[in-house]
């Protein structure tokens, strides 16, 4: 018997992506697997059932039949506990999990002895770049953020010369220069804006300049260990705030992208800084799902805070569902290529990538950090 891989239909209200697209499914089939799609699973991302069938993927309307004998289950968002109960004992789940916010889900995965590859846990090492779903999705989110901001602005981004005079280019400030931030800068620059980028890590200066932006230098080096920023002293915070406040006040559009996995989004802009911005200026807070980088951000809402329109998107990759799904599907293919050989699932749990990505296996939490966190959560939160 060949390996059966099930593709879930996403049910979250703001989720349009699908874990596998037809063209990539054909490549996975060559690993010795048959793929079955939950009927209509790709429709929201513009991939019809007919396209999957043409690619050799069958469809199934009954989720119990879909999952009951599936060896591998592919999803985007964390599945429901009801979905997990339908899965075959000991099968493999590949999806985002966000374990620290889903302790009850992690417990359910252990109870069903599901092996879980949590896509957000893919190690940030060179060998795993082609599997790094956080980066692939962040790149599209960063691209889309300036476009979303433009929709709410009362001015254009580029300089424009008309018969009655010239219009000045808008000033765009991007705060947080990871994958999303650099893509946001690149998009805004291509659209003709005057761009500035800021990050607590001064080594990002060259990256900002490489996409046509000017780097905001606060004179403070906040580099810490492990690629993360260290805690600033009170004096340093005061110095950084003074410099940034000037640039925030001058911006027509600000995009904030700062995030720390599993933690509340760091505060980058406070109420006083928002109040000092120009009337009609826009802030797109990409940290909204985790509490926001701006004081007053409301996840999933567009609100007016003083002179500023504050946008709190919760799932920007889903706004580009077709290509976000394409990239995510390729991330999954590159991961499955490491564990599926001639139609047999053979994960090597001593491999750095597989070990780092595995959240649960054989009824236990295998990630030490997540295990410690879950064990410290009160029992009623995981019931």
Catalytic residue among 39, 63, 129, 250: 129
Catalytic residue of the set 71, 132, 199, 252 = 132
Query: Pick the catalytic residue: 124, 168, 223, 230?
Result: 124
User: Token pair for residue 366?
Assistant: 């295998």
Does residue 77 carry a catalytic annotation? no
Q: 223: which DSSP letter?
A: B
Q: What are 189's two structure tokens?
A: 């620059």
Catalytic residue from among 135, 245, 250, 338 = 135
* Rounded-to-integer distance, Cα 179 and Cα 137, Å: 9
**Of 69, 217, 228, 230, which is the active-site residue?**
228
Whether residue 318 lies in the annotated active site: no
* 124 noted as active-site residue: yes
Total Cβ atoms within 10 A of residue 161: 8
Give the SS3 label for residue 283.
Answer: strand
135 is known as an active-site residue: yes
Q: Could you give the CA distance from residue 142 to residue 382 in angstroms, rounded to a whole number? A: 34
DSSP letter string, 100-157: GG-HHHHHHHHHTT-EEEEGGG---SGGGGGG-HHHHHHHHHHHHHHHHHHHH-SS-S
Q: Check: CB of residue 252 under 8 Å from CB of residue 153.
A: yes
Q: Where does 294-367 have alpha helices with state H?
A: 321-339, 352-357
Q: Which two tokens stand for residue 119?
A: 């896509």
221 is catalytic: no
Give the tokens for residue 126: 């060179």
> How does strand 58-60 pair with strand 253-256?
unpaired
| Cβ neighbours of 296 (radius 10 Å) | 18
Query: 355 and 349 in contact (C-beta within 8 Å)?
Result: yes
Whether the Cβ atoms of residue 307 and residue 280 lie closer than 8 Å to each other: yes
Task: Give the count of beta carbons closer than 10 Å to the beta carbon of residue 209.
Answer: 13
Q: Which positions are catalytic?
A: 124, 129, 132, 135, 228
């Amino acid at each position: 018997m060949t390996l059966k891989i099930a593709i879930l239909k996403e049910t979250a209200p703001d989720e349009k992506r699908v874990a596998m697209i037809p063209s990539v499914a054909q490549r996975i089939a060559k690993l010795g697997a048959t793929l079955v799609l939950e009927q209509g699973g790709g429709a929201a991302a513009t991939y019809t059932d007919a396209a999957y069938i043409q690619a050799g993927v069958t469809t199934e309307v009954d989720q119990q039949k879909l999952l009951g004998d599936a060896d591998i289950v592919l999803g985007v968002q964390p599945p429901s506990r009801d979905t997990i109960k339908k899965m075959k004992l000991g099968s493999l789940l590949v999806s985002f999990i966000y374990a620290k916010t889903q302790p009850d889900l992690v417990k359910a995965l252990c109870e069903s002895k599901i092996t879980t590859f949590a896509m957000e846990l893919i190690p940030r090492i060179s060998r795993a770049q082609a599997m790094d779903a956080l980066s692939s999705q962040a790149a599209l989110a960063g691209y889309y953020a300036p476009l979303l901001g433009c929709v709410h602005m009362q001015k254009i981004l580029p300089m424009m010369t008309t018969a009655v005079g010239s219009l000045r280019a808008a000033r765009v400030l991007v705060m947080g220069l990871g994958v999303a931030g650099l893509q946001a800068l690149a998009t805004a620059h291509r659209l003709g804006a005057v761009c500035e980028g800021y990050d607590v890590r001064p080594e990002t200066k060259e990256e900002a300049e490489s996409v046509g932006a000017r780097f905001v230098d606060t004179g403070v080096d906040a580099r810490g260990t492990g690629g993360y920023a260290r805690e600033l002293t009170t004096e340093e915070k005061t110095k950084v705030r003074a410099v940034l406040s000037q640039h925030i006040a001058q911006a027509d559009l600000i995009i904030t992208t700062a995030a720390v996995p599993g933690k509340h989004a760091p505060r980058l802009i406070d109420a006083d800084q928002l109040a000092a911005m120009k009337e009609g200026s826009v802030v797109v807070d990409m940290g909204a799902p985790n509490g926001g980088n701006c004081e007053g951000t409301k996840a999933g809402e567009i609100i007016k805070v003083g002179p500023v329109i504050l946008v709190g998107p919760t799932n920007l990759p889903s706004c580009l569902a077709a290509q976000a799904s394409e990239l995510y599907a390729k991330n999954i293919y590159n991961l499955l290529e490491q564990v599926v050989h001639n139609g047999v699932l053979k994960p090597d749990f001593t491999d750095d990538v597989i070990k780092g990505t595995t959240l649960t296996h054989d009824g236990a939490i295998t990630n030490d950090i997540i295990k410690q966190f879950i064990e410290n959560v009160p029992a009623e939160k995981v019931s």
